[in-house]
Amino acid sequence: MERLTVTLGERSYPITIAAGLFSDPASFGPLKDGDQTMLVTNETLAPLYLDKVRSVLEQAGVKVDSVILPDGEQFKSLAVLDTVFTALLEKPHGRDTTLIALGGGVVGDLTGFAAASYQRGVRFIQVPTTLLSQVDSSVGGKTAVNHPLGKNMIGAFYQPASVVVDLDCLQTLPARELASGLAEVIKYGIILDGDFFSWLEEHLDALLALDGKALAWCIRRCCELKAEVVAADERESGLRALLNLGHTFGHAIEAEMGYGNWLHGEAVAAGMVMAARTTQRLGNLSESEVQRIITLLQRAGLPVTGPKEMSADAYMPHMMRDKKVLAGELRLVLPLAIGKSEMRGGVPHDVVLSAIADCQQA
């Protein structure tokens, strides 16, 4: 078992990472006999895990109601959020209730925002079931729903009371989703920790084989790295932007190809290679370092080139809508070495376009 604390003053919380946590009521941290909870999950996960979690909590005397959402990013909406409020009010649940988010990023983000805003804030426990949500959304306190005019446009910064990562969930995760999570894992190595990148080169096969010890340490290290960044910059003014490596390019791919056709991690993987090629063209990264990045991503089953139907010119309009754009100037997170990165403005557009072209499929 791995256990760490995200340090945020009085809003600090523990993350517990192990197999078999759903069989142990002690996993669900601050919950105790007599507590009322609303478990939010989706229709794909409910048949797999809902009864199991419900029964272990009920054995501990915790009351468990549930809401089952439709599965998919298109349901991360205000309308679906409202169904959670309705479920809470119909029972009714008071200010002392606890929301439990059992699912990936969509369930976690939506449930977190429901917890942030129900009666102006109730307790909330994250139970991320995908590798991506385990290494990404379980730290940082970002909650949100989408608006038809923009992703994650409505939300709150709101911290969970605890995060429970049961590694057994990864056994039922589709291989493409696992790879998508690994893209974010590899990202932490590139931007912040060269030793972790080397560890990944050594242990990637173990991770792909779902080796429990390797997974637990890997998830712990990603959470630690993200927690350090978030603790230093909770509201995203500077340092936290580094976590966006590959995302400016990746969001362009997602938007151009239609959300869901390229998984987020797949788009970020290709985007990280584009960022690396940009730095290389600026003289800050060697070909051998770029090749280490490409090789590791490929071993994880991730794309390292953009969609062949998308020209370099098609990226720029999307990239100029990025949240990091300031006064009309594109700003990019660039890897300066494996384990070191910075945000840089004023990169000439022709360099960026050439770097994208470097990553076009033949």
Instruction: Scan residues 205-244 and list those touching a second copy (CB under 8 A).
Output: 235
- Known active-site residue 251: yes
Q: What is the amino acid identity at position 269?
A: A
CB contact at 8 A, 338 and 289: yes
Residue with tokens 């063209």: 281
State which of residues 4, 24, 157, 301 lies at the interface with a second copy (CB under 8 A): 157
By CB under 8 A, the count of residues binding a second copy is 31
Q: Is 54 in the site for a second copy (CB under 8 A)?
A: no
Residue 259 in contact with a second copy, rule: CB under 8 A? no
R_g over Cα of the chain: 20
Rounded Cα distance, 251 and 352, in Å: 15
* CA angle in degrees (0–180, nearest 5) for 80-84-87: 130
Active site residue 90: no
CB of 18 to a second copy, least distance (A): 31
Instruction: For residue 270, give the nearest of 243, 292, 298 by alpha carbon.
Output: 298
Q: Are 100 and 125 spatial neighbours (Cβ–Cβ below 8 Å)?
A: yes
- 63 among annotated binding-site residues: no
In angstroms, give the least distance from the CB of 158 to a second copy: 9
| Helix or strand holding residue 271 (H, E) | helix 264-282
- One of 12, 86, 286, 298 touching a second copy (CB under 8 A): 86
Q: Which stretch binds a second copy (CB under 8 A): 4-12, 40-48, 113-121, 277-285?
A: 113-121
Q: How far is CA 298 from CA 121, 266, 305, 316, in A?
A: 43, 11, 10, 25
Q: Is 264 annotated as a binding residue?
A: yes
* Residues 73/106, Cβ–Cβ less than 8 Å: yes
Of 26, 78, 232, 337, the one binding a second copy by CB under 8 A: 78
Q: State how far Cα 258 lies from the chain centre.
A: 19
Question: What φ, ψ does residue 46 adopt, rounded to 5°?
Answer: -55, -50
Angle between helices 264-282 and 287-299 (to 10 degrees): 170
- Active site (annotated) includes residue 240: yes
Whether 244 sits among the annotated catalytic residues: the reply is: yes
Say whether residue 195 binds a second copy (CB under 8 A). Answer: no
Contact region with a second copy (CB under 8 A), list: 147-155, 221-229, 245-253, 299-307: 147-155
120 is catalytic: yes
Region binding a second copy by CB under 8 A among candidate stretches 36-44, 84-92, 160-168, 273-281: 84-92
Among 13, 22, 49, 113, interactor with a second copy by CB under 8 A: 113
| Catalytic residue flag (residue 226) | yes
Report if residue 82 touches a second copy, rule: CB under 8 A: yes
Question: Considering beta carbons, is residue 63 or 323 the nearer one to a second copy?
Answer: 323
CA–CA separation, 187 and 172 (whole Å): 24
Check the annotation: does 73 bind a ligand.
yes
Tokens for 324, please give them.
């990091």
Do residues 324 and 305 lie in contact, with contact meaning Cβ atoms separated by under 8 Å?
no
Given 10, 120, 287, 308, the catalytic residue: 120
Question: Which one from 93, 123, 251, 277 is the annotated catalytic residue?
Answer: 251
d(CA 362, CA 106): 35
Catalytic residue ranges: 120, 142, 184, 226, 236, 240, 244, 247, 251, 264
- Which residues sit in the known binding site? 71-76, 105-109, 129-130, 142, 151, 169-172, 184, 247, 264
Binding site for a second copy (CB under 8 A): 78, 81-82, 85-86, 89-90, 92, 94-95, 113, 116-121, 142-144, 147-150, 153-157, 235, 323
